Amino acid sequence: MLGYVFRRAAAVVPILLGVSVVCFSFIHLAPGDAISALAGDNASKEVIAQLRQSYGYDQSLPIQYVRWLGMILSGNLGTSIMTGRSVVSEVIPAALHTAILAVAAIALSLAVGIAMGALAASTRRVWLDRLLTGIAILGVSVPHYWVGIVLVAVFSVELGLLPAMGMGPAVSIYDFSWHDAKFIVLPAITLALIPTAIIARTVRATLIDVRKDEFVQTLYSFGLSRRRVAAHIARNAAPAVLAVIGLQIAQLLGGSILVETVFAWPGTGYLLNTAIATRDMPLLQGTILILATFFVLMNFLVDLIQPFFDPRIMRH
Amino acid sequence: MSDLPVTPALVTSEISQTTAKDRRGYWRAVRRKFGRDPIAVTCALILVVIALAAIFAPYAAPADPYKTSVIRRLLPILSPGYILGTDELGRDMLSRLIYGGRVSLLMGILPVVIATLIGGLLGVIAGFAGGRINMVVMRIVEVFFAFPSVLLAVAMTGALGAGLMNCLVALSIVFTPAITRIAESTTTQIRNQGYIEAARATGASAIRIILGHVLSNVAGPILTYASSQVSVSVVIASGLSFLGLGVAPPTADWGLMLSTLRQSLFVAPGNALLPGVMILITSVSFNLLSDSLRTALDVKP
């Protein structure tokens, strides 16, 4: 087990390095550098040169990268050009807000997705299976941010039941109270849409697949009850489903950009939008880096959990 | 956004070891099965209608999509002269939806096509060459897998700057890694098959082997996967426009219309939701079409 953990961990390091290179290159992808945006149109050449030097933009690219890497490894993601505050102090609260939303959406999509998939796989009613599969197809291809707008139109505008935007009077996660929970309902449903559909599809397909295995027949012939056999099937279906769930939780972070925009949720998506609108490259870079790192670690975690369901994985 | 993981096992099963003559029969069978699938035909028809309307927009649209009118703002759906009403600047909705298909379809389809060409090429080369080339290509691909797809698309367009061209570039980069991985794993699996060995023994060049044997085997899995990504691309592309990263107003584009009409949601909810309906219909049609294609490719010759 320990060897397996080390091997997986060793595979993560080059990926994270690659991620850092991609994030670093974002600044240099940008047309017109951030310095001229910061200095304004009327700045003299001397001022620009000085700023360039103070941000380290006058060095060669590899040197800039190594310096930057050293900086982020010591926990410093640079300074937001627009607000002048450190990127870390901007990203952390936003990431926590996104996390609240993501946890709610994940819980919802796990509960609904697994139930839908299991029901579709085990029902003998063809129409029910078709209906659930149809809903899942719709869920995968729907523009989820649009569904968010529809939900606002129905539940906020027409029925006036739920708030349309923001996360309530709570300024940060620390003073979030259950009284404000109604603010999270619509964004969480919207964000859960795609993962729910994909989890449902995967659960259904995997269960049907595993059920065809010979061992299922053997178990039945041993006289095991349907319920006991179902437990065996579930255990064998777990690794494949788990892999997809891990991937979906991670993808959720990306999807939250659009959902946060629709519901004015003050998370990382909102931060990213601000960074793009104001061309605040260090902020953009820092946000992406943190989200991508989280994404990689998430996949690593899934790799670590997998062997508990299927020990054979460790041998590869 | 919603890509199922690519398991090597899934790809293996789709590799056939057939002669060229069999293969012609196979594609004929695929076409026949595809043509008899009612869902596939319906979706294809819907998409053809949307695409034709978009291509011939100047003839298909009942009005000028850019003509604004202060007194005709937000007319409800089914108003006389404006079947689908008007938008927040009094422009005819139907005409704008028809014109909007141009950018939206382009942004949905083109990135997947580009990604299929580049990813297919990279993957086949990496798989066929093996060794160090394979390792370098696949390591780079793996790095791009570390980003959630929507995040990568938004970040790249954000860094490059808004605009149609940058969106196309960003989306192409988003879809390339997965296609490269499929092409690579399929090619690696057939690289050591007997008939490749035989071709090599007869003195066939690498290019000839790739064109004659590898491509025909890799095409199926790539095509199946790429087709499933078109619907994803349509949704992400309109998402980029929705965030203001796509084409600039007043250009008609479904995602952008959704964003500008959002302010009118409280006044005219029907009109504000229409662009989303178009995105939904297009995306679902592409998705079902891809599912049918997957089933059709499964036929035995």
Q: pLDDT digit of tens for each residue in chain B (301 aa)?
A: 444 444 444 444 445 555 555 667 777 888 888 888 888 889 999 999 999 988 887 887 777 777 777 777 777 777 777 777 777 777 888 888 888 888 889 988 999 999 999 999 999 999 888 889 888 998 889 888 888 888 889 888 888 888 888 899 999 999 999 999 999 988 888 888 888 888 888 888 888 888 878 888 888 889 889 988 999 899 999 999 988 888 888 888 888 888 888 877 777 777 888 888 999 999 999 988 988 888 887 765 4
pLDDT higher at A123 or B8: A123
pLDDT (tens digit, 9 = 90+) per residue, A23-55? 888 777 766 665 666 666 666 777 777 777 776
- Residues near B132 by beta carbon (within 8 Å), at least 6 away in sequence: none
Distance from CA of A250 to the nearest CA of B (A): 7
pLDDT higher at B112 or A231: B112
Mean pLDDT of A205-230: 85
Mean pLDDT of A262-281: 85
Contacts 24+ apart (CB under 8 A), A56-59: A57/A33
If 0-12 CB within 10 Å is exposed, 13-18 middle and 19+ buried, where does residue A29 land?
middle
* CB spacing of B149 vs A251 below 8 angstroms: yes
Report which of A274, A94, A260 is spatially closest to residue A183, judged by C-alpha positions. Answer: A260
Instruction: Among B149, B244, B258, select the one facing A146 at the smallest CB separation.
Output: B258
- Token duo for residue B16: 């056939």
Mean pLDDT of chain A: 81
* Residue of A21, A145, A191 for testing the chain B interface, max B β-carbons within 10 Å: A145
Domain boundary assignment for chain A: 90-315
pLDDT higher at A18 or A80: A18
Tell me, what's the pLDDT at A1?
Answer: 72
* CB spacing of A19 vs B146 below 8 angstroms: yes
Instruction: Among A197, A201, A258, select the one facing B239 at the smallest CB separation.
Output: A258
In the stretch 182-211 of chain B, residues with CB closer than 8 A to chain A read: none
In the stretch 111-150 of chain B, residues with CB closer than 8 A to chain A read: 139-140, 142-144, 146-150
* CB spacing of A141 vs B287 below 8 angstroms: yes
Q: How far apart are CA B168 and CA B157, in angstroms?
A: 9
pLDDT tier, A173 (very low <50, low <70, confident <90, very high otherwise): low
CATH number for the segment(s) A90-315: 1.10.3720.10
Q: Does B270 touch chain A (CB under 8 A)?
A: no
Type of residue found at A258 = L
Report which of A60, A36, A202, A57 is spatially closest to residue B4, judged by C-alpha positions. Answer: A202
Tell me, what's the pLDDT at A76?
Answer: 79
* CB spacing of B5 vs A243 below 8 angstroms: yes
Tell me, what's the pLDDT at A243?
Answer: 79
Distance from CA of A209 to the nearest CA of B (A): 12
CB pairs under 8 A between A and B: 150
Q: How far apart are CA B295 and CA B301, in angstroms?
A: 14
pLDDT (tens digit, 9 = 90+) per residue, A286-298? 888 888 888 888 8
Please, are residues B191 and B128 in contact by the beta-carbon 8 Å criterion? yes
CB-CB neighbors (< 8 A) of A281 in chain B:
159
pLDDT higher at A105 or A170: A105
Distance from CA of B8 to the nearest CA of A (A): 13
